Amino acid sequence: MILDDGSVILPSATRLAAPLAFAACGEYLAERAGTMNISIEAMMISGAFTAISTASMTGSASLGLLVGALAGLLVGVLHANASHRLAVNTFVAGLTLNVLAIGLTSFFNESMDITGHQVAQVSIPLLRDIPLVGEALFVQRWPVYLLLVLIPLTWWLVEHTRWGLELRAVGENPQGADVTGVRVNLRRRQAVMWCGLMSGLGGAHLAVGAVGSFNNNMTAGRGYLVIAAVIFGAWRLRGTLIGCALFGLADALRLALPALGVQLNAQLLIAAPYLLALIAMVAFVRRTRQPLALARPFVRGLT
């Protein structure tokens, strides 16, 4: 039955995995630079609320998407400077921003009269007719196709630029990178800002692309799924995106199974993507090597 309705499940899985993939492009880069960015949830929920409220005020969902991405960038700037300029514990800073962003967006959502908006859907001729995957991949809201540019761009930045080389160096051996003249905390701040921009874009797409509205705490822990996807992918972009696809599929099945007549415990279905993330982290974290300086603050002269 599930396979017969794959034409419904796979497009839904793509729609739900896309916000994770946007944020994962940022978190992958941040962790390669040595920063475990816990504030993805704040970046995504800020992007989602700002996108839909901007779209409501201006009538333009596309403008909302842009402003939502900038809202995520603002959270990234706050986290980056708190962690790598003011030396606040990065986990404390991230969790504080998460709680603050969820609280503020819920408050303003209840205080404002926001109407739903959604960006246009784009259907690509010929490719949409590919059996099974055509509709899933090539009949989507247009921001999904930005991933075709952002994924290769992220990979190229990390693997084939001097900036990316310095980024990886500060994630592996910040003291050694500092000796060669690399500004360690600057590179880490830049990585967190990129994560903010990408996560804000992911949250904005969730609001004005995948859903078309905003609900309190609508990201519902997706930021933590992104962190799990990076671990699942062994700090490699390809594996990280596979993790996002699996979590998106699990979320799509959660929504589709009751409609297909499969009766399972409702709470178990809601928890399924997060249970999968936990299993993936337990299964893969000990089999892979994380960046050696991940989550270690840099202080010049200390080893």
What pLDDT shows up at residue 238? Answer: 93
Give the pLDDT of residue 260: 65
pLDDT at 261 over 70: no
Summarised one tens digit per residue, pLDDT across range 138-151 is 899 999 999 999 99
Mean pLDDT within 209-223: 92
Please state the pTM of the whole predicted model: 0.91
| pLDDT score for 275 | 78
The Cα diameter of the chain in Å comes to 62
Q: Which SS3 state, helix, strand or coil, does residue 123 take?
A: strand
Q: Are the C-beta atoms of residues 284 and 236 closer than 8 Å to each other?
A: no
Cβ atoms of 45 and 105 closer than 8 Å: yes
pLDDT digits (tens, 9 = 90+) for 50-105: 999 999 999 999 999 999 999 999 999 999 999 998 889 999 999 999 999 999 99
Q: Which spans in 206-265 are helix H?
A: 222-232, 237-259
Question: Looking at residue 302, what is its pLDDT?
Answer: 61
CB count within 10 Å of CB 32 equals: 24
pLDDT reading at 297 higher than 70: yes
Contact between 260 and 271 under an 8 Å Cβ cutoff? The reply is: no
pLDDT at 289: 76
